[in-house]
């Protein structure tokens, strides 16, 4: 699993849900960041998210950069703590956890081949 997909899964899991609209708009992409808002609070659409997951899962270095984006107009307010369902800073925490877990997975995979992998990612804060 790529770092982007691990971070993606952490962002999706951490996003507070009222309708699912914000959660469904975490869109991983290859080459360029997604700039669209999929669906609406009344009609949640996960198509772009699913398509992005597939694109990142089949990523090759020559494909370009990897991105994760969310363009619902209230995502910053959610990250600032506007919902009682998630703490302020949940995006940063999800990125920290996802990066750390991806590093752990890489270290385990490298160890299976007798290679030592040292992570430069600090362990996420306690309780995160």
Angle, helices 3-14 vs 47-57, to 10°: value is: 150
Distance CA 66, CA 99 (A): 14
Domain extents for the chain? Answer: 3-112
Q: What pTM value is reported for the model?
A: 0.85
pLDDT tens figures, 44-99:
999 999 999 999 999 998 999 999 999 999 999 999 999 999 999 999 999 999 99
Buried b (16+ CB within 10 A) or exposed e, 62-94: eeeebbbbbebeebeebbeeebeebeeebbebb
Distance CA 46, CA 50 (A): 6
Planar angle of CA 65, 97, 106, nearest 5 degrees: 65
Q: pLDDT digits over 98-110, tens only? A: 999 988 888 887 7
pLDDT at 127 over 60: no
- Which pLDDT does position 118 carry in this prediction? 65
């Amino acid at each position: 699993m790529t770092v982007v997909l691990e971070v993606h899964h952490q962002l999706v899991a951490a996003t507070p849900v009222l309708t699912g609209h914000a959660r469904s708009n975490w869109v991983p992409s290859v080459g360029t960041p997604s700039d669209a808002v999929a669906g609406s609070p009344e009609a949640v659409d996960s198509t772009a998210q699913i398509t992005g997951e597939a694109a990142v899962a089949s990523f090759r270095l020559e494909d370009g950069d990897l991105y994760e984006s969310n363009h619902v107009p209230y995502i910053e307010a959610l990250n600032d703590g506007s919902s009682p369902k998630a703490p302020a800073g949940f995006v940063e925490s999800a990125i920290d956890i996802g990066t750390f877990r991806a590093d752990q997975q890489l270290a385990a995979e490298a160890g299976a081949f007798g290679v030592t992998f040292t992570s430069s990612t600090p362990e996420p804060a306690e309780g995160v």
